[in-house]
Amino acid sequence: MNTAESPNQIRRTLDSRLRQLMPRGPVLLAAVVRSTRRCGRYGCKCNRGEKHIRTQITYKEGAKTRSVYVPADLVSEVRQWAAEGRRLQCLLKECSQLAVALLRSKPQAPKKPSRRPK
């Protein structure tokens, strides 16, 4: 973002980003994680080296990281939700930066002289 932009240009860019903030579907602020593991059953394919694949989401709840299992038939849909969450997060960050740039582009009022007695 160019900081030498006029306040009108910054305002137009900010308004454009704010219009893009409308979610296009469900929003998920989490990471989709794919991992492998062994089940421990005797004779299972995972004991021969081919581990079981599972997908889960991880998210923050307060100061703790939580995870939730994602069924195999929902994985592609949940990935789209997470992508939408990342898109909105990036837009919010950009809107915040534009708002700060807009504030900085406004001329400051001159300071009034102090009226201290001499």
Model confidence pTM above 0.85: no
Q: Report the mean per-residue pLDDT for the chain.
A: 87
| 20: confidence class by pLDDT, cuts 50, 70, 90 | confident
73-78-83 Cα angle (round to 5): 145
Give residue 4's pLDDT: 57
- Statement: residue 63 has pLDDT above 90: yes
Q: What is the mean pLDDT of residues 42-60?
A: 89
**Is the separation of the CB atoms in 31 and 83 below 8 Å?**
no
Q: Which is more confident, 69 or 8?
A: 69
